Amino acid sequence: MAEVNYFLNEEQQMIVELTRQLAREKIIPVRARLDEQEEFPWDLVKDFAQADLFGLFIPEEYGGLGGGCFEMCLALEQLAYGCVGVTTTYAASALGGYPILLFGSDEQKQRYLPDIAAGAKLAAFGLTESTAGSDAAAIQTTAVEEGDYWVLNGSKQWITSGGEAEIYTIIAMTDRHKGPRGASAFIVEKGDPGFSFGKKEKKMGIRASSTTELFFDNCKIPKDRLLGRRGMGFIIAMRTLDQARPGIGAMGVGLAQAAMDEAILFARQRVQFGQPVIAFQAIQHMLADMATEIEAARALVYAIARTIDTGIKDMAKLSAMAKLFATDMAMKVTTDAVQVMGGHGYMADYPVEKMMRDAKILQIYEGTNQIQKNVIGQALNKEYAKKA
C-alpha cells in the first residue's frame, strides 16, 4: 500500500533509520522497566551520544551535525515511538541548548555547545516557577549585578533533567518593574555555588525522565554567563519555545503511531463473536480515524518544521499550531488505542496504558495547548489588524 512521500533527502532518511533502530533495539526493550522504576535512562543517553544525536541541531563548527527543526522532528518522532519519557530527556537537552545556540556569544557557543553536541553534558531549561507557569512573565527569581558577578536568588519548578543536567539556561528578573522586558537569561552550571536541586517529582507519565526543583541561594555566577543582552530574557525564552514546540508535535506523531500499531496488532488477533475484532466496522472506523489523523498531524508538523528552517522570523503561530494539533491528536489516538484493546489496553501488561499516560504531558509542557491557542489567536488578530 502506498505511503505519503515526504521527499526526505539521503541524510534525513539516515536520521529516520538510525533513530528508528535505536527505538526498536534499545528503547522498547527497557521502557517498561524505566517507567515502573522511575529510572533515569543514562545507558540510553550514552547510546544517543554515541550516535551523535545530541548534536543534531548544533552547527558543525560547534561539533554538531548541522540539522534544523525538521531533522529534529524526524528524530523526535522515531524516538518517541519507543518512549516519550526517554525522548523527553533528549528533547530537554536541546531546549536547554537552543538559547545558547540562538543568542549566545561566539565564546559562549565555543564553551558549551561542543559538550552538549557530544552528549558529554546534558542541558536543561529553567523558566517555570511555582507561581509562573502559563504566565511566564510573572517569574520571581532575581539576578542582581555585583561587581564581576551575577547573584541569583529564587527557585524554579518542574525542570526536566534537573539534577542530571550540567548546563542550565535560567530566566531571571533583572529589572522587575519593566515586566517581560525586565527578564534576562543566564547560563548556570551544576556545581556553581548556591545552586542546588529539590527532590525528584513523582509523575503520571514520562517517568523515565527526571523532574526537579532548582534552588538559587545567593548563587554567584561570573558576569559572562549572561545570554544576549540584559532585558532579553523573555524574548529568548519565547524564541526558544518557538524553535522547540514543533518537536513536541513530532513526539505526539511518533507516540500516536506506536499506539495505533499496537491497537492494530491486537485487533487482528483478538477474537470475539467468532472473528478477529478488526473485522468489525466499529473497530475499523476507530482505526481509520487514527491513521488519518496521524498522517494529517505528521504532514502539518513536517511542513511547519521545514518552513521554520527557511529562516522565517515570526514563527510563533506556526510552531504553536504544530504542537497543538499533533499533541491533541496523540491524546485522542492513545485513548482510542486503549479503547480498541478494552480491558487488555487498560492493563500495564500492554504498552498502550503507558502511552496514554505519556500523551498527557505533551498537551501540557512547553506551554499548555490552551496557551498555544492564545499564541495562535493573538497572531491572527495582529495579522488581520495589519490587513485592515
Q: Which residues of the shown chain bind ligand COS in the complex (CB under 6 A)?
A: 127-128, 134-137, 180-181, 234-235, 238-239, 241-242, 316, 365-367, 371, 374-375
As measured in angstroms, the least distance from the Cβ of 228 to ligand COS is: 12
Q: What Cα–Cα distance (Å) separates residue 40 from each residue in 27, 35, 74, 207?
A: 12, 9, 23, 8
Q: How far apart are CA 315 and CA 298, in angstroms?
A: 18
Beta strands in the chain (DSSP E): 123-126, 142-146, 149-160, 167-173, 183-189, 195-200, 211-222, 226-227, 271-272, 275-276
Task: Give yes or no: 10 in active site.
Answer: no
As measured in angstroms, the least distance from the Cβ of 292 to ligand COS is: 29
As measured in angstroms, the least distance from the Cβ of 353 to ligand COS is: 24
When the beta carbons of 8 and 235 are compared against ligand COS, the nearer one is 235
As measured in angstroms, the least distance from the Cβ of 11 to ligand COS is: 29
- Give 211's strand partners: 160
Sequence letter at residue 58: I
When the beta carbons of 37 and 370 are compared against ligand COS, the nearer one is 370
When the beta carbons of 22 and 248 are compared against ligand COS, the nearer one is 248
When the beta carbons of 158 and 266 are compared against ligand COS, the nearer one is 158
What number of H helices and E strands is found in the chain? 11, 10
Q: How far apart are CA 355 and CA 335, in angstroms?
A: 9
Q: Taking CB positions, which residue lies at the least distance from ligand COS?
A: 367
Please say whether the beta carbons of 50 and 33 come within 8 A. no
Q: Which residue has the cell 505533551?
A: 362
When the beta carbons of 79 and 338 are compared against ligand COS, the nearer one is 79
When the beta carbons of 161 and 257 are compared against ligand COS, the nearer one is 161
Q: Which residue has the cell 524564541?
A: 239
C-alpha cell belonging to residue 121:
553534558
As measured in angstroms, the least distance from the Cβ of 180 to ligand COS is: 4
Name the residue among 84, 32, 358, 44 with its Cα closest to residue 247: 84
Q: Which residue has the cell 516557577?
A: 129
Question: Which residues, at least 6 apart from 217, have a Cβ–Cβ distance to it below 8 Å?
Answer: 153, 194, 196
Question: Which residues, at least 6 apart from 42, have a Cβ–Cβ distance to it below 8 Å?
Answer: none
Determine which one of 3, 146, 366, 383 is catalytic.
366
CA angle centred on 148, ends 145 and 150, rounded to 5°:
35
As measured in angstroms, the least distance from the Cβ of 135 to ligand COS is: 6
When the beta carbons of 178 and 268 are compared against ligand COS, the nearer one is 178
As measured in angstroms, the least distance from the Cβ of 374 to ligand COS is: 6
The catalytic site residues sit at 366
